[in-house]
Amino acid sequence: MTGTFTWNLLADIRDMWAYDAMVNAFRAGTIVAVLAALVGWFMVLRRQSFAGHTLALVGFPGAAGAVWLGLSVTLGYFTFCLAAALVIAVLRTGGRRGYSEESAVIGTVQAFALATGMLFVSLYKGFLNGTTELLFGAFTGITADQVTVLAGVAVVVLAVLAVIGRPLLFASVDTDVARAHGVPSRVLDTVFLLLLGAAAAEASQITGALLVFALLVLPPATAQLVTARPGRSLAVSVGLAVLVVWVALFVGYYSPYPIGFWVTTTAFGAYALTSVLTGRTRSIPRRAAA
């Protein structure tokens, strides 16, 4: 971006952090990484990547609509993502394993969201530069207020996840038995979609609506390759996501290319390396909802 890279990494970091914008970017990136890594871990386990991807895309019309109406972009992201989560939860036709219906519903929501986004963009003339940022991410414009909102939402989401985490794991792995044990699996489905919507809205603000996958899917999928212990797997997922964001921000600052590219490349690199090292060549569990 703006910086001049030297091989003295410490000096480079000091140089980079002299800018408030970069400090805010690191704060926001770290918050988003932790949140996406934890919520994404459950998403990968539950094979709801398609829902996560759609919720992230819904952030695009949300943000575009907010810009068109002159409202806060952050508000636009959260409103649309949470509303879409509720729509998906409500439209899910009955049946605990109604995944085929679910993916049809999700696909519909996704197509509608993209179309609406483009409508908002065309309603708000002269928005084209912004569109790229909404889709592929930006980190220079993050304000201290935005960081506060991100942190506040993350705390709420993580608190809810901490409370429901264990029954959610049970219901995700073993729905029938969990229900026989009195776990309200339907309620948890909806609550989790809302958490996913919030996490996708947060991640969208760093990586853009199209590249949320890099944070929501890749670190958890990598962590699940590394270990089958839930606790360790969650920790590895968080560590990787934070590392990915930091490396991407650092490289992004010293390079002319967009942040979304670096986040995706780093995350995918870690996944590919791990697959090779652990000798597993399974495909990334994406869109496994079908």
Partner 1 sequence: MSTAPRQSAAPRVTGARVPDGPTAPPALVEIVDATVVLGGRTVWSGVGATIAPGEFVAILGPNGVGKSTLLKAVLGLVPLARGTVRLLGRPPGQANHDVGYLPQRRSFDASLRIRGLDVVRLGLDGDRWGLPLPGPRSRAAAARVRELVDLVGAGGYAHRPIGQLSGGEQQRLLIAQALARRPRLLMLDEPLDSLDLPNQAGVAALISQICRTEGVAVMIVAHDVNPILSYLDRVIYLGQGGAVSGTPGEVITAATLTRLYGTPIEVLSTSDGRLVVVGQPEAPALHTDRHPEHA
* Contact present, 252 and 19 (Cβ < 8 Å): no
CA angle at 69 for the pair 83 and 60, rounded to the nearest 5° = 45
Between 169 and 267, CB nearer to partner 1: 169
Interface with partner 1 includes 154 (CB under 8 A)? Answer: no
In whole angstroms, what is the distance from residue 289 CA to residue 279 CA?
25
The angle subtended at Cα 263 by Cα 33 and Cα 135, nearest 5°, is 95
Stretch that binds partner 1, among 82-90, 145-153, 168-176, 261-269 (CB under 8 A): 168-176
239 lies in the site for partner 1, by CB under 8 A: no
- Please report, as a single letter, which amino acid is at residue 290: A
Distance CA 38, CA 184 (A): 21
Site for partner 1 in 174-193 (CB under 8 A): 174, 176-183
The C-alpha angle with vertex 173 and arms to 180 and 169, in degrees rounded to 5, equals 90
By the rule CB under 8 A, 163 interacts with partner 1: yes
Using CB atoms within 10 Å of the CB of residue 186, give its burial: 0 to 12 exposed, 13 to 18 middle, 19+ buried: middle
Binding of residue 198 to partner 1 (CB under 8 A): no
- Separation of alpha carbons 81 and 87, rounded Å: 10
Q: Which of 3, 130, 165, 239 binds partner 1 (CB under 8 A)?
A: 165
From the list 62-70, 74-82, 171-179, 238-246, the region that binds partner 1 by CB under 8 A is: 171-179
Q: Please identify, using beta-carbon distances, which residue of 173 and 276 lies nearer to partner 1.
A: 173
Count of chain residues binding partner 1 (CB under 8 A)? 33
Residue 229 in the binding site for partner 1 (CB under 8 A):
yes
Q: Which two tokens stand for residue 224?
A: 């699940």
Only one of the segments 29-37, 122-130, 226-234, 251-259 lies at the binding site for partner 1 (rule: CB under 8 A); that segment is 226-234
| Residues engaged in binding partner 1 (CB under 8 A) | 45, 94-98, 162-167, 169-170, 173-174, 176-183, 224-225, 227-230, 233, 282, 285
